[in-house]
Amino acid sequence: MRRQITNLCTEAYEEEFSAYLEAVGSGVHVVGRLDGVVVSHAMWVTRVLDADARVTLRTAYVEAVATRPSHQRRGFASEILARLAAEILDYDLGALSPSEPSFYARLGWELWRGPLFIRTDQGLEPTPGESVMIRRLPRTPADLDLNARLTAEWRPGEVW
């Protein structure tokens, strides 16, 4: 299964994906199959995001959303993300770094408007040019301020 997911993501992103999957670590995968072949994928890993250093959020951070190019624009990724959203309800928040914000927005994800930082041993490192979208879940604080500073722990590979 791992090989099928790696091959799918490599094809969809047009770059070798095995190192990326290795860097983000183990997570929970959601796959879509058609005639026994994996055609769509998304996964989440658990991360801790802090909003304005006041609210610590146990977050299902979504990674590697991909659909085989020959099957794109047929609803597979939307179905995968709907299933994923139903599976992460015990988290405080869903989050991801979008490649196409408009795609995620129509599925209920909201763009984080505040500044983004990564927590390192040396302090907070700003991440200009990055974007994050969140999905509110039943445990998401009602007063979560999308204009506040959002931080995540440093990790190898893509920090967001």
- Per residue in 86-99, pLDDT (tens digit) is 999 999 999 999 99
In a domain, residue 145? The reply is yes
Helix (H, G, I), strand (E, B) or coil at 127: coil
- Residues 1-15 have a mean pLDDT of 93
pLDDT at 148 over 90: yes
How far, in Å, CA of 115 to CA of 103, rounded?
A: 22
- Per residue in 29-85, pLDDT (tens digit) is 999 999 989 999 999 999 999 999 889 999 999 999 999 999 999 999 999 999 999
Helix (H, G, I), strand (E, B) or coil at 126: strand
How many domains does the chain contain in total? 1
Closest residue by Cα to residue 51 from 155, 145, 154, 160: 145
In a domain, residue 158? The reply is no
- Per residue in 98-118, pLDDT (tens digit) is 999 999 999 999 999 999 999
Distance, C-alpha 149 to centroid of its chain: 18
In a domain, residue 159? The reply is no
**Cβ density class 24-53: b for 16+ within 10 Å, e for less:** beebebbbbeeeeebbbbbbbbebebbbee
In a domain, residue 88? The reply is yes
Whether pTM exceeds 0.75: yes
DSSP state of 138: T
CATH number, position 25: 3.40.630.30
In a domain, residue 51? The reply is yes
Residue 22's pLDDT is what? 84
Residue 26's pLDDT is what? 84
Residue 138's pLDDT is what? 98
Domain residues for 131?
Answer: 2-153
In a domain, residue 160? The reply is no
Mean model confidence pLDDT for the chain:
95
